[in-house]
Each structure stands twice: as structure tokens, then as C-alpha cells.
Amino acid sequence: MRITGETRILGIFGYPVKHTLSPSMQNAALESLGLNYIYLPFEVRPEELEDAVRSLNTLGIIGVNLTIPHKESVIPFLDEITDEAEVIGSVNTIENKNGRLIGHNTDSGGFMMSLRADAGFNANGKTALVIGAGGAARGVIAGLAREMVHRIFIANRTMEKGERLAKEFGNKFEGTEFTAIPMSSLNDSSIMSSLDLFVNATSMGMEGTIFDIQFSLTPTHVLVSDIVYNPQLTAFLKKAREGGRKTIGGLGMLLYQGAISFEIWTSRKAPIAIMKDVLQKEAQLARQAADS
């Protein structure tokens, strides 16, 4: 990579940020297309976020991703956000368009692209259960509703949050029925047997713990997804696989959200195969480091 006086800067704001896989993925993509850009990690403390966002114009940085814990708190510092990001209530990509800072949410589209590309799943008319009601779950649920999923059950540890989300999205997406359920209903056979898609959109997979789920209650065609990508095979997915269910991990969502962000910033088609290859290698290295 050759840095010149004309190199354009992209990056990611997070706290912490040192475990992010996005710089490797994005720099490989930029380099493969011969684009004179560089993508850097910036560790930004929550209390420094406003200054960091202002610096995008001061320093001429043309776009950044946002990760934990900035995706919601960044919104007041932007000039505009897309309708999609507004509905979801979270921004993971800033586009600096001639000094105007526009917030996008590419997590939602990334999840839906991953379902289609990695598992051939079409949400239209289907029934889904999503565990979680945080920022990522909102993106997953909004993506499914936009693609006309028939019914979504939402189970969340803090049930009132799931109930609020079901009501809010029920008013926003007319074609989908939203039902909040308690975590104890995760083993209700009438719900489990109706599922085409079962998603864990909580951070539980990262901690290695698992909800007590009997996958034998789900139909054999159900697709089981976990948006956590570290580890790639979470305890949730492992148990689903042991029950003979088809599974999909979170690396695809990471890949496709990055590809959509890349296209927003560069107006070039993202080199998916190269980005995927880098992510798989980085994830393997992270796994080896964790094991050693």
C-alpha cells in the first residue's frame, strides 16, 4: 500500500477497537481495486465521540464505521440519517458527503445479504424467532420485516424491551406480525415447530454460554443463525448442528455490512471474494490466538 499526499482516509471508531477485523478486510478490498485509500482503527472513548465526529471534516476523513458502544450515541452528531437507520435507531457507517455527515445502517442489509448468499434463505412469508432486542437485533428484525417476513417472535432477557420493540415495529411494518414472548417460551413446542428461521442476536455467544434450547422441537428445515462471529461456531450453533439443523454464523453479516459500507464510500463494487478470504483467515488467526 503506497501512501501519498492524495491518499483518502477511512476508518472505524470503537471502544475498544483493537479486536476489529474491519481494517484487514477493507484495506485488502481497497488495495485489490488499486484505490488510493487507507482504512484505520481509531480508539474513541464515549466522552470523545462528539469531537471525533467533528474531526471527520477537520481532517477530511471521508467515512467511518462505528462499533460498540457508539452506534446509537453518534446520531445527534450527524447532519442526517437514512430512513433505514432512523427506524433501526442505530448507525454503523458515516458517509462524509462534501462536508455533510450522513449516517447509514449497513448491519441490517448485511444480515439479509448473508441469509440469501450463504444460506439461500428468502424471508418472504416465513416465520422467525429472534432472541435479543438490542441494536443488532433491531437491525435483524427490521431487515426481515422489510423483506416481508410473515411473523416474528421476539424473546429478550428484559421482556419489557422486547414488548416495546414488538409494539414499535408493529406500527412501522404493516406486513409483519410481531409477538414478544418470554425467554421461557423458547421451548414452547407450538412456537418452535412453526419456525423457518431462528436467530440469536444477543451477545451471549461471545461468552460461550447458551440458552436452554431443544432444537428437536423445531422443524428439520429451520435455519439457525447466530450473529456473533467470534467464535464462529458459538455454543448456540453447535447445539443446533448437533440436532441436525442447518446453521449460519455471523461472519457473513460482518462481510456484507462491510461490503455495503465500501460501496457507499467508494461508489465501486465491493470485491466480496477478497474480503471474505481475508475475514476467514483473520477469524482463524483469532481462534488460534484464543486457543493458545
- Smallest gap from Cβ 99 to ligand NAP, in A, equals 28
Name which position in 17, 52, 133, 154 contacts ligand NAP (CB under 6 A): 133
Site for ligand NAP in 170-199 (CB under 6 A): none
User: Looking at beta carbons only, is 77 or 229 nearer to ligand NAP?
Assistant: 229
137 binds ligand NAP (CB under 6 A): yes
135 binds ligand NAP (CB under 6 A): yes
Q: Which residues contact 275 (CB under 8 A, 6 or more apart)?
A: 25, 26, 28, 29, 255, 258, 259, 262
User: Looking at beta carbons only, is 57 or 284 nearer to ligand NAP?
Assistant: 284
The residue type found at 22 is S
Q: How buried is residue 91: exposed, middle or buried, by Cβ count under 10 Å (0-12/13-18/19+)?
A: buried
**DSSP reduced 3-state for 128:** strand
Please tell me the count of residues contacting ligand NAP according to CB under 6 A.
22
Site for ligand NAP in 221-280 (CB under 6 A): 227-229, 250, 253-254, 257
Closest C-alpha to 98, from 154, 57, 145: 57
Beta strands in 22-118 (DSSP E): 37-43, 63-66, 80-81, 93-97, 100-104
- Smallest gap from Cβ 174 to ligand NAP, in A, equals 25
Name which position in 206, 217, 272, 286 contacts ligand NAP (CB under 6 A): 206
Site pattern 92..121 for ligand NAP (x: CB under 6 A) = ---------------x--------------
- Smallest gap from Cβ 87 to ligand NAP, in A, equals 15
User: Looking at beta carbons only, is 38 or 136 nearer to ligand NAP?
Assistant: 136
- Smallest gap from Cβ 116 to ligand NAP, in A, equals 15
The three cell numbers of residue 115 are: 441469509
Q: Edge-to-edge strands of the sheet including 197-200?
A: 177-181, 151-155, 127-131, 197-200, 223-226, 246-248
Q: Other CB atoms closer than 10 Å to residue 223's CB: what's the count? A: 22
User: Looking at beta carbons only, is 41 or 134 nearer to ligand NAP?
Assistant: 134
Q: Is 71 a catalytic residue?
A: yes
**DSSP reduced 3-state for 160:** helix
Alpha-helical regions (H) of 151-234: 159-172, 189-192, 204-207
Q: Please state, in angstroms and as integers, the Cα–Cα distance from residue 7 to each residue in 39, 224, 259, following that order.
A: 10, 42, 20
User: Looking at beta carbons only, is 88 or 195 nearer to ligand NAP?
Assistant: 88
Site for ligand NAP in 138-157 (CB under 6 A): 156-157
Report the Cα 236 to chain-centroid distance in Å. 17
- Smallest gap from Cβ 5 to ligand NAP, in A, equals 34
Query: Which residue numbers are catalytic?
Result: 71
Which stretches of the chain bind ligand NAP, using CB under 6 A?
A: 107, 132-137, 156-158, 161, 202-204, 206, 227-229, 250, 253-254, 257
